[in-house]
Amino acid sequence: MKLCMIGTGYVGLVSGTCFADIGHTVYCVDKDEAKIEKLNSSQSPIYEPGLDELIKENYKANRLFFTSNLSEAVNKSDIIFICVGTPNKRKSLSVDLKFVYQAVKDIKKVSKGKKIIVTKSTVPVGTGDQIEKILKNSKKFTVVSNPEFLREGEAIRDFKYPDRIVIGSNSSSIFKTMKNLYSPLINKGSKFFTTNRRGAELIKYAANAFLATKITYINEIANLCEKINVNVEDVSLGIGSDLRIGSRFLRAGPSYGGSCFPKDTKGLISIGEKEKVDLSIVKSVVKSNENRKKLILNKISKILKNKIKNKKVSILGVTFKPNTDDMRDSMSLKIIPYLIKKGAIVSYYDPTGEKKEFENLSNCNFYMNINDAVKKADLIILHTEWDEFKSLNFNSLIKKRKTSLYDLRNLLNTEDIKAKNLEYFSIGRPKIN
Ligand code: UGA
């Protein structure tokens, strides 16, 4: 099939490349010509393990094209995916759809034949209806919702082996075409699920808010564990082994972040408000996640005995999760400015390099290697669970200095933390020394 992806951000680029990899011909369109030029020299503008190679292979095989020429891409394609950004409006919970609606107007202007228009961006319930209005209910276009469930850092695997593929349309004749599109994945066992268009739009929000709820719940249980000498990982395992609960997304941590959970929980509350439905659980989740950030900052202060001024603090990993360079809503964006404000001297290391977010902070320095970053630290904060931090030898890293380590991801095995001068703190585990 011939496909057009509008927007070469995370969703458009990963999905487009993976669609090409399962045999379709894909035209990825972006208004940003510099980006298109970069892609045409087979360089990915985003950090995603495996994506560079996949772009190169499919580009070479003439299945993947990058262009700024919307008209050409639209008219060569049967299905057009809208993959543009849907940020929250400033100072409001609601979602800004200007990029989606602009893309629809642009398609309408250039499109000649019959087209299926699919929203892949996360859009509020009823957006498909609005798109139909913009298209003046023309019979030329069928509007479909096909939310994506890709996780950053694992997106290629998530695309190729999805738990389910959700298609929402008000015209059931379209389901056969969409099933054909995904047949290489369905043949390998992925579940294909159809519903009406509003149903698919809601599924995306409900899924992300549910996952955020799971994380927030275990984070609160971790707070309790710290008071009563219980290991939260035992609780995660103990409850997660019940198939009705499920073991995934029960890792306690510093608070959920990234470009999706914070935005989509708020987006769902806003949808509820519009419909006059009180989504009180989701509201509590958002509030609890915000409170957690303060709680973690207080704990850091407590570890430093409330004397932060001139303390040397080293942060390992600053992105919101591993295998990505994404800083959006990362807890490090709270921790580092807080420490600097209180007079600490901060050093940080991240496998994806220096971050512009900290460039203008005085007393905050990036180091290219872990050794240099933690040298002389009074406190090391293990912020992101990169694999390379799992086997660190803290004995040789800290030498004989007395140092504290705050492991925000429970990455280290308490048995392995044998360094004599190291005081170890973690999330929801009994204290070991
Ligand atoms: C999330 C969803 O998992 C994807 O299914 C969805 O497609 C995507 O949002 C989206 O809407 O585009 P993502 O934000 O990339 O994916 O990352 P996650 O792996 O879900 O992690 C989100 C946050 O939750 C991170 O801050 C992570 O550290 C935290 N988390 C995750 C935990 O604290 N504990 C866990 O057990 C899992």
Residues 278 and 297 in one domain: no
Q: How far away, in angstroms, is 47 Cα from ligand 1 center? A: 16
Q: Report yes or no on 431 lying in a domain.
A: no
Catalogue the E-assigned strands of 146-288: 164-168, 191-195
Amino acid at 145: S
Cβ atoms 268, 282 nearer than 8 A = yes
Q: How far away, in angstroms, is 258 Cα from ligand 1 center? A: 7
Residue 260 is among the residues annotated as catalytic for this protein:
yes
Query: Distance of CA 331 to CAs 182, 188, 282, 313, 339, Å?
Result: 36, 38, 20, 15, 13
Range of the domain at 65: 2-195
pLDDT tier at 430, thresholds 50, 70, 90: confident
Residues 256 and 311 in one domain: no
Q: Report yes or no on 432 lying in a domain.
A: no
CA pair distance 104, 107, nearest whole angstrom: 5
Q: Which of 170, 120, 192, 127 is nearest to 149 (CA)?
A: 120
Q: How far away, in angstroms, is 152 Cα from ligand 1 center? A: 8
**What φ, ψ does residue 26 adopt, rounded to 5°?**
-125, 130
Helices within 69-196 (DSSP H only): 70-76, 98-110, 127-134, 155-160, 174-181, 183-186
Q: Which atom of ligand 1 is nearest to the CA of 324?
A: 15
Pocket residues: Cβ below 6 A from ligand 1: 122, 148-152, 208, 211, 215, 249-251, 253, 256-258, 260-261, 320-321
Q: Report yes or no on 430 lying in a domain.
A: no
The active-site residue out of 18, 83, 260, 364 is 260
Return the SS3 of 2. strand
The pLDDT of residue 433 is above 60: no
Q: Whose CA is nearest to atom 28 of ligand 1?
A: 321
Q: Which atom of ligand 1 is nearest to the CA of 10?
A: 12
Element housing 205 (H / E)? helix 197-228
Query: Distance of CA 214 to CAs 204, 218, 248, Å?
Result: 16, 6, 9
Q: Which atom of ligand 1 is nearest to the CA of 258?
A: 14
pLDDT digits (tens, 9 = 90+) for 294-328: 999 999 999 999 999 999 999 999 999 999 999 99
Q: Whose CA is nearest to atom 12 of ligand 1?
A: 260
Among 259, 290, 321, the domain boundary falls at: 290
pLDDT digits (tens, 9 = 90+) for 197-217: 999 999 999 999 999 999 999
| Both tokens assigned to 346 | 């901060």
Element housing 232 (H / E)? helix 232-240
End-to-end CA distance of the chain: 61
**What is the reported pLDDT for 432?**
65
Residues 273 and 300 in one domain: no
Residues 331 and 265 in one domain: no
**What is the reported pLDDT for 377?**
95
Q: How far away, in angstroms, is 57 Cα from ligand 1 center? A: 28
pTM for the full model?
A: 0.96
**What is the reported pLDDT for 414?**
78
